[in-house]
Amino acid sequence: MKLDLLAFAAHPDDVELSCAGTLIKHSEAGYKTGVVDLTKGELGTRGNAELRAQEAAVASQIMGLSVRETLNMPDGFFAVDELNKMAVVRMIRKYRPEIILANSIYDRHPDHGRASKIVSDAVFLSGLVKIKTSVDGTDQQAWRPKAVYHYIQDRMMKPDFIVDISEVMEKRSAAIHAFSSQFYNPASNEPETAISSKQFLESLTGRALEMGRTIGTAFGEGFVVERTPGVSDLFKLL
């Protein structure tokens, strides 16, 4: 299956918290979208890997994904090395996306920056014909996406562009709340974490409001680019 837009994430819920609206909007516009999680999020303080997988399945349905896979790298301990880069190369060549979304270049959680680097390197390597890969015994062809965009996570960064997600904000919120084990629940007996407070969920809406205000819309999601994008029609810019 060829995808138009493929998002990579260090953990299940990374894309939901940061770019779910963008994925939903493009899915509803007819683009094929998917997510590849590098880990199962097994080190998360609340819940466990099995529960996170169930929540991810619900979120994937809400976001209209065509596919979601997990590479089973060790949460918290995966390295920026050849083995992990090649695992991502295989996913890129398998789905041949035009655009890739990746973790924030740097962030509070060290996995996010490492995941960003692995994906960026893999995008370049995936286009080299002398690197040979195969999946299930079938040789893969070289493929390099047109662009890599990094979504913004816990640490605020100045976005290079912002996607208007106003019309899908309700679905975005539903995708986030699919990970109910991780977020605010006054009846929960689980330990408190950096993202389990009521204020954290409110901050997500606040950031989307601020991003939207920047471009003159109700809500938005921001991205950082590796390569300056070009446009052929100024009137398609907000």
Q: Does residue 93 lie within any of the structural domains?
A: yes
Q: Does residue 218 lie within any of the structural domains?
A: yes
Q: Does residue 28 lie within any of the structural domains?
A: yes
Residue-level pLDDT, tens digit, the chain, 238 residues: 899 999 999 999 999 999 999 999 999 999 999 999 999 999 999 989 999 999 999 999 999 999 999 999 999 999 999 999 999 999 999 999 999 999 999 999 999 999 999 999 999 999 999 999 998 889 999 999 999 999 999 999 999 999 999 999 999 999 999 999 998 888 888 889 989 998 999 999 999 999 999 999 999 999 999 999 999 999 988 7
Q: Does residue 238 lie within any of the structural domains?
A: no
The boundaries of the domain holding residue 21 are 5-228
What is the CATH classification number for the domain harbouring 20?
3.40.50.10320
Q: Does residue 235 lie within any of the structural domains?
A: no
The whole-number pLDDT of residue 202 equals 94
Q: Does residue 236 lie within any of the structural domains?
A: no
For residues 21-51, b (16+ Cβ closer than 10 Å) or e, as one string? bbbbbbbeeebbbbbbbbbbbbebebbebeb
Whether the Cβ atoms of residue 147 and residue 99 lie closer than 8 Å to each other: yes
Q: Does residue 217 lie within any of the structural domains?
A: yes
Q: What is the 3-state secondary structure (H, E, C) of the chain?
A: CCCCEEEEECCCCHHHHHHHHHHHHHHHCCCCEEEEECCCCCCCCCCCHHHHHHHHHHHHHHHCCCEEEECCCCCCCCCCCHHHHHHHHHHHHHHCCCEEEECCCCCCCHHHHHHHHHHHHHHHHHCCCCCCCEECCEECCCCCCCEEEEECCCCCCCCCEEEECHHHHHHHHHHHHCCCCCCCCCCCCCCCCCCCCHHHHHHHHHHHHHHHHHHCCCCEEEEEECCCCCCCCHHHCC
The whole-number pLDDT of residue 186 equals 84
The whole-number pLDDT of residue 187 equals 83
Q: Does residue 57 lie within any of the structural domains?
A: yes
The whole-number pLDDT of residue 190 equals 87
Domain count, the chain: 1
